[in-house]
Chains A and B, each alone.
Chain A
């Protein structure tokens, strides 16, 4: 009759991370059903670990790494050209991040201000885009972003500050 400890822990983690993980995936996979499938698979994999009593040191990193793999698989199936393009001018980024087009294709609508904010972020160079997004919207710290993306915290910090500087300039120009 008792809900086990494992389920409690998992439930807490699930509630904390699911929205951000959904967004991470939805900005890259242009198919809402597929996004939900990926999210379910990823949490399911984590749950399997919990159920057999294996404690995971960094569950968030596990979730995002699993999501990245599945997103790459989706690109291989649905949009192999995008992956090729990345290899040529991606600056070490392994996944595309073109949220405006992706959301439009998946028929996910955003409010006007959200759309504008996202469009501005998308105008940034690819290398800065993800770091700035994770900092501003998901409010992660540089070392947390570093864990998720597999890059060093220093690189992330630099990208964030340069990206934010660019954003400020754009916003300043826009209001003129």
Chain B
């Protein structure tokens, strides 16, 4: 076949959705929770973990599931939390207000886990990418759940207002936590350096000098850590903004709904 035709075929192969469209569609698809499928639960979890957790539960009772709830990445029970207890609640929580609450709980958990990870000594790029992906995913599912709430429960506006209020409070809490975390402390240090203020004015005892030399050697590792940490923190900020926006938007939708106006006039 001649050259022009071949070129044409190659060009045809390039026709497709834009990169942005591809990403958006994927995010929308994977944010949606499935229809209830009670017998599907066991397939969601990895069989090995199923056996392990069944065994643990038999031995230790419900304490294992409870203990898993607060676990962080790297801890023994963390996989149980993420692959067993959370998916089970995913399938069981269907009612829109409860779902929105559960999704925002999960988002909180992801944020807590992300903060905990940033306070570790090492944080590889792979880990930080995983966290970012998990935060994005959780933010999408939370936004979708909030949208579902706006659509479906116009009658339950009390419950919703409560939920929005709770969410905003939690977001503020995280703001505080951040200032206290290592990132917050570091920026404080940076400010002091800029002003030329030495953290310690008096003559340092020997042990402190040793410590400082050690710290200089660890400087390079810290830069790597700092880079990865900052990416996560940026992600958390973006996620919080998105949630806030969505929260405010659904509140506005509530106010616009004529049924709500009626109710207010009646009251």
- Cross-chain contact B1 with A3 (CB below 8 angstroms): no
- Which single residue of chain B is at the shortest CB-CB distance from A139? B13
Q: A120 vs B40: C-alpha distance in the bound complex, in angstroms?
A: 49
B199 sits at the interface (CB 8 A): no
- Cross-chain contact B5 with A120 (CB below 8 angstroms): yes
B26 sits at the interface (CB 8 A): yes
A22 sits at the interface (CB 8 A): yes
- Which single residue of chain B is at the shortest CB-CB distance from A18? B22
B32 sits at the interface (CB 8 A): yes
Which of B186-234 touch A at CB < 8 Å?
Answer: none
- Cross-chain contact B15 with A113 (CB below 8 angstroms): no
- Which single residue of chain A is at the shortest CB-CB distance from B36? A52
Q: A111-B8, A118-B8 are in contact. List 4 more A-B contacts (CB 8 A).
A: A3-B134, A113-B4, A114-B12, A120-B5
- Which single residue of chain B is at the shortest CB-CB distance from A26? B15
Interchain nearest-CB distance for A65 vs B (Å): 18
Residues of chain A within 8 A of B54, CB atoms compared: none
**Interchain Cβ contacts within 8 Å, total number:** 117
Chain A residues in contact with chain B, CB under 8 A?
Answer: 1-7, 10-11, 14, 18-19, 22-23, 26, 36, 39-40, 43-44, 47-48, 51-54, 108, 110-111, 113-118, 120, 136-138, 167-168, 171, 174-175
Interchain residue pairs with CB less than 8 A apart (8): A1-B110, A2-B134, A11-B26, A23-B12, A114-B9, A117-B5, A120-B5, A138-B13
Interchain nearest-CB distance for B110 vs A (Å): 7
Interchain nearest-CB distance for A8 vs B (Å): 11
- Which single residue of chain B is at the shortest CB-CB distance from A20? B16
Interchain nearest-CB distance for A63 vs B (Å): 13
Residues of chain A within 8 A of B134, CB atoms compared: 1-3
- Cross-chain contact B29 with A114 (CB below 8 angstroms): no
Closest 9 CB pairs of A and B: A53-B43, A117-B8, A52-B40, A19-B16, A114-B11, A113-B8, A52-B37, A51-B34, A113-B7
B113 sits at the interface (CB 8 A): yes
- Cross-chain contact B82 with A22 (CB below 8 angstroms): no
Interchain nearest-CB distance for B138 vs A (Å): 9
Place the interface of chain B in its size category: 35 or more
Q: A4 vs B141: C-alpha distance in the bound complex, in angstroms?
A: 15
- Secondary structure dominating the interface of A: helix
B44 sits at the interface (CB 8 A): yes
Q: Of A1, A5, A7, which one neighbours B82 at CB under 8 angstroms?
A: A1
- Cross-chain contact A53 with B1 (CB below 8 angstroms): no
- Cross-chain contact B17 with A22 (CB below 8 angstroms): yes
- Cross-chain contact B43 with A52 (CB below 8 angstroms): yes
- Which single residue of chain A is at the shortest CB-CB distance from B35? A48
- Cross-chain contact A19 with B26 (CB below 8 angstroms): no
- Cross-chain contact B12 with A118 (CB below 8 angstroms): yes
Which of B1-54 touch A at CB < 8 Å?
Answer: 1-2, 4-5, 7-9, 11-13, 15-17, 21-22, 25-26, 28-30, 32-35, 37, 40, 42-44, 46
- Cross-chain contact A40 with B12 (CB below 8 angstroms): no
- Cross-chain contact B12 with A137 (CB below 8 angstroms): yes
- Cross-chain contact B35 with A3 (CB below 8 angstroms): no
Q: A168 vs B2: C-alpha distance in the bound complex, in angstroms?
A: 9
Interchain nearest-CB distance for B157 vs A (Å): 30
Q: Of B5, B22, B113, B137, which one neighbours A116 at CB under 8 angstroms?
A: B5
- Which single residue of chain B is at the shortest CB-CB distance from A136? B9
- Cross-chain contact B16 with A22 (CB below 8 angstroms): yes
Q: A18 vs B37: C-alpha distance in the bound complex, in angstroms?
A: 27
Residues of chain A within 8 A of B78, CB atoms compared: 1
Q: A100 vs B217: C-alpha distance in the bound complex, in angstroms?
A: 65
Residues of chain A within 8 A of B1, CB atoms compared: 167-168, 171
